[in-house]
Amino acid sequence: MGAVQTARQRARAELTREIVDAARRNLVAEGPSGLSLRAVARELGMVSSAIYRYFPSRDDLLTTLIIDAYDAVGEAAERADAGCAREDIIGRWAATSRAVRGWAIAHPHEYALVYGSPVPGYRAPEDTIGPASRVTNVLVGLVCDAAALGALAARATPSLPVAMVADARRLADLVLPGVGPETLTRAIVAWTQLFGIVSYELFGHLVGSVEDPEVLFESSIVLMADFIGLRESRRRKVSR
Amino acid sequence: MGAVQTARQRARAELTREIVDAARRNLVAEGPSGLSLRAVARELGMVSSAIYRYFPSRDDLLTTLIIDAYDAVGEAAERADAGCAREDIIGRWAATSRAVRGWAIAHPHEYALVYGSPVPGYRAPEDTIGPASRVTNVLVGLVCDAAALGALAARATPSLPVAMVADARRLADLVLPGVGPETLTRAIVAWTQLFGIVSYELFGHLVGSVEDPEVLFESSIVLMADFIGLRESRRRKVSR
DNA sequence: TGTACATCAGTGAACGCGCGTTCACTGATGTAC
DNA sequence: TGTACATCAGTGAACGCGCGTTCACTGATGTAC
């Protein structure tokens, strides 16, 4: 067999993708708990039981959607980050943040699927962990590089709980060598802020108070970069 | 009639409350889109059509739950704030934050109902706006008092988009006289962070990375108070 | 190149379930005289 | 205090709908000789 696929295998791969696409569209209309195998089958002109040749159950289809969503937002973040010069820390932070928000706005239902309320009765399997951490990894890499490049200003941090310092030190040793516990704590807080503001906008809580969510978002990028202590890298050639 | 209620009226009020309570419990099991009039009726030993004597439709019952949830978290925030000395700005910020998180942890499904993914197909009526802003009003009052008490440190804020400054000035004039646009922007960002970190914890995104969410939360209270510029009031008598 | 058999995608009917909402009704509670 | 009528809570049956999943089946595709 090797690399060559039989007609059957090609058909299977294609239909699997079509099922997932239809399911994604179904999600938009009804939300995660309204995802319906029968509706998906109907849209593809199949009989509902045919779906079972491709997915053993509704939950498995949902899992695929969740993994895809994590992968999509993760990839968006990775590409945005990769499009910046390595030493342009502030630019990378801004680009990554915008990528997350941009993807969320373009795919609100998929965003809600992974960052919104948990789906009742659904238990996420282990397979989602890897894709789920892609965005985090971008932020981790960014802070890591900032530390290596001397692009991390020390902040006058008010004293934190000792347990936090200890935990942050443990985490830093694990994934962010060279980053102090105060900075790591700030990074985690900034990270929750990023998803907080995106959720706030997407779930309609800014309506009626803030004029333009994008302007607020840009402001929050600037403020949180400063909050973490990100600054222009010393090594960067400034040419103006 | 006057203040005296007839037996019928008392029965009606009581049953209305019982229906709402049962609906709340139903929410826990199934999530908002799984809220079922029939299940509620069953739990109360009624026939499903009897619910229509109390609520004209499923959506109306859902609206009641949403309003109740906003009122509950709003009241928790108000009480926490009210329990502090007026000039203890930092204490009020911490107490209010803890109240929001505490309520969310105690009522995760109601929290998800109002701050999680929008319920598909449901459109919130105007009546929810008032209750929804109770928590915000507490934070607004807090920042307002901080400004009046000289408990707002000026931060060296990186330059914000002009549109943001303009919008923040407009908002400040409206509800926060005497507060500068930079500070107001910081307050809004802190406010999104508060709900961001609570959602992150509740929706399971901290599992596997952070040891103790409460410790992180306490750290975020301290860091965000500093971020906004909240400090001990000059007028406060420190007795140690 | 041809044949026999195995694999597997898709069908169609069925099971058993739950849902929101409507409607004509019964009988208890409340009101006006 | 008693009677006639109006109000309204709750019933039970029904409508029409959608759902996930199972199962025996048909017929096309793939494989081994």
End-to-end CA distance of chain B: 59
pLDDT at residue A198 tops 60? yes
More confident residue, A123 or B204: B204
β-pair partners for B152 = B230
Q: Report chain B residues whose CB lies below 8 A from the CB of A160.
A: 219, 222-223
Residue B230 DSSP SS3: strand
Angle of CA points B105, A129, A83, to nearest 5° = 110
Residues A94 and A190: their CA atoms lie apart, in Å, by 12
Distance of CA B164 to the CA centre of its chain: 24
Tell me the C-alpha to C-alpha distance, in Å, between residue A174 and each of A157, A171, B205: 22, 5, 18
The closest of B92, B151, B68, B97 to A192, measured between CA atoms, is: B97
Residues A92-113 have pLDDT tens digits of 999 999 999 999 999 999 999 9
Q: Looking at residues A197-223, what average pLDDT do you find? A: 96
The closest of B197, B40, B31 to B113, measured between CA atoms, is: B31
Which position has the token pair 């992180």? B216
The closest of B71, B97, B96 to B84, measured between CA atoms, is: B96
The closest of A215, A109, A74, A139 to B161, measured between CA atoms, is: A215
pLDDT at residue B93 tops 60? yes
Residue B152 DSSP SS3: strand
Residues B17-51 have pLDDT tens digits of 999 999 999 998 888 998 999 999 999 999 999 99
Residues B215 and B204: their CA atoms lie apart, in Å, by 16
Q: Looking at residues A29-41, what average pLDDT do you find? A: 92
In this complex, do B164 and A197 lie within 8 Å of one another by their Cβ atoms?
Answer: no
> Which residue minimizes Cα–C1' distance to C12?
A47
Angle of CA points A113, B58, A60, to nearest 5° = 30
| Residues B99 and B80: beta-carbon distance below 8 Å | yes
Of A163, A185, A218, the CB nearest to B161: A218
Q: Report chain B residues whose CB lies below 8 A from the CB of A211.
A: 163, 167, 170
This prediction's pTM: 0.95
Burial B117-131 (b: 16+ CB within 10 A, else e): bbbbebebeeeeeeb
Q: Looking at residues A217-229, what average pLDDT do you find? A: 98
Q: How does residue B1 score in pLDDT terms, banded at 50, 70 and 90? A: very low
Residue of B nearest to A160 (CA): B219
Query: Could you tell me how many CB contacts below 8 A there are between chain A and chain B?
Result: 174
Q: How does residue B201 score in pLDDT terms, banded at 50, 70 and 90? A: very high
